[in-house]
Amino acid sequence: MKDILKYKDFTGTVQFNADDEVFHGKIAGIDDLVTFEGVSVEELKNSFREAVEDYIEICKSIGKSPHKFYKGSFNVRVKPVIHKKAVLKSIELGLSLNQFVEQAIQYKLIGQNGN
């Protein structure tokens, strides 16, 4: 993984602005826009942690969940040949296409050995 930071159960995406010579980023997986920045890697990491702590505190004070709600459905666009192969393989395995795709995603997220 590159260009991300993790703190508690939050992820921050990071970019570098060469013109300003500053790292900047935002917290991913939330409904709000929370940014952070730093001129060094250590400053960036500290700024990210502070942003997360501040965001948690603000959410707590207004009674809001800090994490984005995911409903569990989304559209996936693939090449037609991949779509066809996935449908045929799911039929062969006795699964719905949704079950097949969910298992494929789980495999990629946790790995073959359950890690």
Give per-residue pLDDT as tens, 47-86. Answer: 999 999 999 999 999 999 999 999 999 999 999 999 999 9
C-alpha–C-alpha distance, residues 86 and 99, integer Å = 11
Determine the pLDDT at residue 111: 77
**Residue found by looking up tokens 């709000």 in the block:** 32
CA distance readout (Å), 44 to 6, 29, 65: 12, 19, 25
Burial, 86: exposed, middle or buried (Cβ in 10 Å; 0-12, 13-18, 19+)? middle
Structure pTM?
0.76
